[in-house]
Structure 1
Amino acid sequence: MREALAATDLGPARTGTLILSGIGASWHALAPAVDALQAAGRRAYAIHPSALAGDGISRLGDAFVLVSQSGKSTEVLDVVERLDGAPTIVISAFGDSPLARAADAWLPLGPEADTAVSTLGYTATLQTLGLLTDALLSAPSREWDALPELVDATLARLAPHAEELAPAFTRIRMLDAVGAGPAVGSAGEAALLAREALLLPAAEYETRQYLHGPMESVADGFGAVLFGAERELRLAQTLAGYGATVVTIGKGADFLVEPDPILQILPMQLLVQFVAELRGLRVDSLAREQDDTKVVA
Structure 2
Amino acid sequence: MPQQDNLSDSNSAGSDMSVFFLSGILGLEAMHLWISIPFCSMFTVALLGNCTLLCVIKTEASLQKPMYYFLAMLAVIDLVLSTTTMPKLLSIFWFNFREISFNACLVQMFFLHSFSIMESGVLVAMAFDRYVAICNPLRYATILTNSVIAKIGLAGLARAVLIMVPLLFLLRRLPFCQSHVISHCYCEHMAVVKLACADTRINSIYGIFVTLFIVGLDLTFIVLSYVRILRTVLSLASKEEQLKAFNTCVSHLCAILMVYTPLVLTSIIHRSGHQVAPHIHILMAIFYFIFPPMMNPIVYGVKTKQIRDRVRLLFRGKNV
TM-score in terms of structure 1 length? 0.27
Name the TM-score, length of structure 2 as normaliser.
0.25
Rg larger in structure: 2
* Greater RCO structure (CA 8 Å; 6+ sep): 2
| Higher relative helix content | 2
